Structure 1
């Protein structure tokens, strides 16, 4: 009779592993999915998932993988996601069990779980789940002069709740300002990230939305002169001239008054 000795669990940010010793060798089944996926609002999102089996683990039946979110089966033909979800690889024998979620909405910003049913010669039938994948949604970015102040450049974008999202504005590749989601706004379904900078001189301005070190979207604004340079200069010469004229008149009147005494 074969003896099986359980190994320790090995947990990574990408997959959850189950190990078993079989005749001195290690048998491993893993279900892999990334911790985060980002997508622009209205676009299609690919939610990756694949399984891997070590050479020492003999799979005797085609594995079946499922996708769930909030207890809903995404692949159910009559479910709430019907018509919006399909498999990336239609081959049932493929290890790639990724799905495509079409026309992403704000309400799709949540966590998704990939689960698998396996049958192996060593262990029989069992189920295995991967780590959760968070779907992060962001809208179109606007980057232009403020409607209230022509000397302010404003960048803004709607994003789903995620603390590691950062919006930044730079000029000629030099960072001017940045803003991240604060804890108080993380409970909202969508949040407006915005940043304003003063146009002190001409140059190339760039606004970026990043998730950690990953660039999600960006927009550019170019100006050759500061926003307020087109205003008419103050007529200081005219002001001084009027003041001198008034002073001269007052002096003349004073002299005339003194001469009449």
Structure 2
């Protein structure tokens, strides 16, 4: 059982107008096997939360704590956080020219586990995961995210998650830019990873459509840099019908 505990987290970012506080006291706990949907309007701080936890240098943590299984994540480098069991699927994955998907995946697996996977087993695992995500075998020899469609980028992120087997996965708008077929396939990958490894999932999204395929255990409404309300799947249904106006009025 792994536990990610976020307590009273505050974070700032530098803007042309000066230092701006984005996270204003976030409290959230995610355990193995749980799916937490983080929903909110644009500019509410959802992606900032993801990147701050992962260690992006753009964001400065000013107070609060983030612990994974009792260890202080904020004292770790980005690679140490990954080895501790944290995974981030980015909203906008970057291109890595000159590095093939196959080399990238094996290098990442070696770095996270501390040893290279047995080649025969690894090849089988990669092929199986790619088959599940409806990915052409030739995909493995392409450069990471170079010329990838939106759907290919998101499938690649889920492929990484399936192979790296993190304790906690943060999925930042994994549904962004996906057509219906790609959304279903990516969602199946998330559900498969949860079933096979009991990964705890923080699923950041604007819309409820991905929740038609991935049923959350908890829904958190994120507005103004903090959690404004929490509930179960029924809360997502209410947001679909009512939107975020009631929270924005309160926040203002």
Using the size of structure 2 for normalisation, the TM-score is: 0.27
Larger radius of gyration: 1
Q: Higher helix proportion, which one?
A: 2
Q: Higher strand proportion, which one?
A: 1
Using the size of structure 1 for normalisation, the TM-score is: 0.26
Q: Which of the pair has the greater relative contact order for Cα pairs under 8 Å at 6+ separation?
A: 2
